[in-house]
Chain A
């Protein structure tokens, strides 16, 4: 098979799966639906592996597949750019997707929308692959919007739940804000470069570095404007402050997609995009500083929120936000490869954590409240050990994958030459402590301590007569019932994800960060020395892990773990006291800094106010009353008159033809 058809196969196989499961799901039945989609995603994964080898041999590709349309001088194409960065993303996406597909068999077992779910996640895989394989902004935007659409569909997967509908609408609207910025950025690129092709744009980027943006009243550097607009898109998709509000609510969706879309892949699209655009971002220190500050705020302040959450998935969601903040900081420090490296390790361990959380949720019969758990270790051994691995990777335990990537980010920020780096550096170091604290709080509350499940704590247990509520997935264990380990389709992906979570950092840090792996895909200019400095201090992965003992970062993490142990296992009464003592701070955290209220009041309320005016006056009176109904009435009247011409008498018809000839004759006279 030629390379070209291999490239096509990677995105099209999941698309075929989505079509089959989506349109013919009823015909195929449940079992065949998952067999078909899993087989096709597996095809996609193995094709990606093949391409990976190919790329390692030096066969990169950049070219158009199909010309969609041309408008003026602009040609819109579907095209692939296959280089090291792309192929890395392809592997991560298809691998995690494959795991999630398998896991879904167990998780969605009893759900009515089984085939629909498989169709959506395959469609997501297609969209994400189109996004990462794009060689032009147009296709990037297509993939960008398509993953957004699937995310919307999946958050609202249980569309009978009020909260799910609210959450997917919220995600949709917040992403609109980001996408608007993104689109404006693409528009500016088109204006400046006259092309949407990556290669063309990047090649002439440097020559436009000092252009001024045509914004009246302010003198902005064109590159800064473009990069910040593009980054606003990334803020929406990668849930960066202050567009982060949709991600925690997105946990209303089924857990497999929380793992796939809202942890491992889609939310990292922004990170990927900025890395891809490194030739542009490198030209604007202002944009890079902006990126770094936003990342730092997200990393630290979203971590705080994780501490007080009681929903197992929401804790993991806030930790995702915080980790995305870390990646963004790496971008700001011009350490794009580090961001991609953390993206990859994070994809593995965060997907693992989500899927393990899902396994806990299955074991707890869809009770997600960690206050009702505890001591699950002996009931769910595989889930326990894999969750522990994921947690250790997340907090940055030496030798585990998360350690290498996160530690590199902190070092990169330290080495960055940007003026904001001190603030960012401190925020990230504190973030390490916070991460360790909330992660182990979650771990201890779920797997250790006293068994708090099986108490009659659900007040809506009475209304089970209505089976619709059963589909609502709020069961919980009945008194006396014990949680149980999940079936192999659930635990197999956990084990398969635990392996890279443990080891991938150790083995890949050298090629990805310091080798030539991403050299061609990522462009760093000389005045941004972070990566160069890191390379000097790097003496192999083992040495790095051992050296961390003398670095305070590790001790921040350890103290977080110890504190979590002390608060939640040793003296469980202390958190309650702190809560009462620092009531104000607690309330601020519980209300998530008030962003939701503010958005509801200012944006939603304000929009409603403006809309009401536009509706009552603009729409009802002006547009509907005068213009639409007015013209419709006018056209209707004309129509009534015109139809009378058609009398049915043949001599009238003949007469009209003769008149026609006269009209044509007179035109002839006019033209001469």
Chain B
């Protein structure tokens, strides 16, 4: 009993694991027409996780399992947002997958395993648990991409993702082993303490750092470790792309925070220089390549690369403002990408993918409301006020200016300006071009209501960004100061 009660901070993970196993068994007895039962169970599980995380919230930082697991405010907030993102992704995906015969128990179980992986990553305070979480997430995602076995594109994408992912994992593990060699520990806090006391072989330390940054960059999809992003985003069925492109970015942010900030804050000068190169390259290549794309999923892939550059810009500022603005950016990005991919799925139907730019021509005439929502999403991605994307960019830039990275900020602004082109092109297509297809859009009530909320949230958070920003700031502050 006493042991169990010490596990309170990990209740959500334990509950999720139990539920996944249960769902796996229940799903065996559910026939295809009744797959909705599994779906509802999954949604209930997510709700249950959220309730557990909220009700077990306690201020302060708690370590568990021999310091491999940490519960702080940042982890709680990120986990809650991950549940939300996953739940929204599943709502958007349901009809899309049903029309393609992919609405299977495996998909949902894999999604939950991926979520478990993310939660472990978010709460990891030890390199081993970080790595286990990462692998759990990645393996689930590889399998999800490959789920459409009869599609050559999807299998190719899965293959590429898997091989490159394995390479990146190797780099990351190598870096971790260097760090272990230099500091004698894999515990985040112990490493941090060791570094600030001074290590004998600093060369070894920074050498390991390089590989860790490389592994991280792969996860985020930063240039030049980004090559998998366009192919996987494009090749995978849109539902999988949505799952890859949304919640894992929150986990990746936590990953960056735990690895670079919490364990290697004293080496900030080193990693911020590396991140600067990655950030600039990502923003440049992401935005410029996106212009040449005619496929919306590919375009979003490049736009993700550019957004991750922005996120890195926040992190490399190296102060509380920078970290909290990066967290805000990650949250906002997830919200926008959910909407963007959700829109593609909403407009798709059996045997037809609405993932070409031409499919958005004249959307305003076919459905003014959806066009308006898409307009909000695009404005937000481009960073046009009063949408929340503006504040996300603004706070990152402000943090970077305060940290003295003026040249980086100038480049970031220039590349965002270039980026605005391809977002606004979609707006232009929707409002000023004649539609190519007149097939009525089959509006599913659940996903169309959700996308309305999604789009309006982008607007409302833009008008009243204060609360979300405050939450990000407080949680980053707590995690850093109390460690």
Contacts and interface: CB of A to CB of B under 8 A. Distances in A.
A667 B210 CA distance: 9
Interface stretch (B115-123, B269-277, B359-367): B269-277
A654 B224 CA distance: 10
Interface string B212-224: 0110011000011
Nearest to B213: A664
B288 A653 contact: no
A652 B274 contact: no
Contact of A650 (B163, B168, B217, B421): B163
Interface string B455-480: 00000000000100000000000000
Q: Which of B164, B218, B285, B288 counts the most chain A CB atoms within 10 A?
A: B288
A648 interface: yes
B180 to A, nearest CB: 18
Given A639-B292, A665-B210, A659 B270 contact: no
A646 B288 contact: no
Contact of B210 (A635, A656, A657, A661): A661
Contacts of A1: none
A58 interface: no
B473 to A, nearest CB: 14
A355 to B, nearest CB: 37
B225 interface: yes
B143 interface: no
Given A664-B210, A664-B214, A656 B289 contact: no
A635 B218 contact: no
Interface stretch (B104-112, B226-234, B436-444): B226-234
Q: Which of A646, A652, A663 counts the most chain B CB atoms within 10 A?
A: A646
Q: Which of A648, A664, A665, A667 counts the most chain B CB atoms within 10 A?
A: A664
Nearest to A631: B418
A364 B206 CA distance: 89
B288 A657 contact: no
B272 to A, nearest CB: 9
Chain A interface SS verdict (over half): helix
B61 interface: no
B160 A638 contact: no
Contact of A638 (B270, B288, B293): B288
Contacts of A656: 224-225, 227
Interface in A631-646: 632, 635-636, 638-640, 642-643, 645-646
A139 to B, nearest CB: 15
Contacts of A642: 285, 288-289, 292
Contact of B224 (A643, A663, A670, A671): A663
B292 A640 contact: yes
Contact of B164 (A646, A657, A661): A657
B209 interface: yes
A646 B214 contact: no
Interface in B372-422: 418, 421
Q: Which of A645, A648, A660 counts the most chain B CB atoms within 10 A?
A: A660
B47 interface: no
Interface residues on A, range: 20 to 34
Given A657-B168, A657-B218, A659-B224, A646 B277 contact: no
A67 interface: yes
B270 A646 contact: no
A668 interface: yes
B228 A653 contact: yes
Contacts of B206: 668, 671
Contact of A661 (B214, B223, B270): B214
Interface in B265-287: 269-270, 273-274, 277, 285
A67 B466 contact: yes
B164 A654 contact: yes
Contacts of B333: none
Interface in A458-485: none
Q: Which of B167, B168, B227, B466 counts the most chain A CB atoms within 10 A?
A: B227
Contacts of A638: 288
Interface of A: 67, 632, 635-636, 638-640, 642-643, 645-646, 648, 650, 652-654, 656-657, 659-661, 663-665, 667-668, 670-671
Shortest beta-carbon contacts, A-B, top 7: A653-B227, A660-B224, A639-B292, A639-B291, A664-B210, A656-B224, A643-B292
Given A646-B230, A668-B206, 13 more contacts: A635-B421, A638-B288, A643-B292, A645-B227, A646-B227, A653-B160, A654-B163, A654-B164, A660-B214, A661-B171, A668-B210, A668-B270, A671-B270
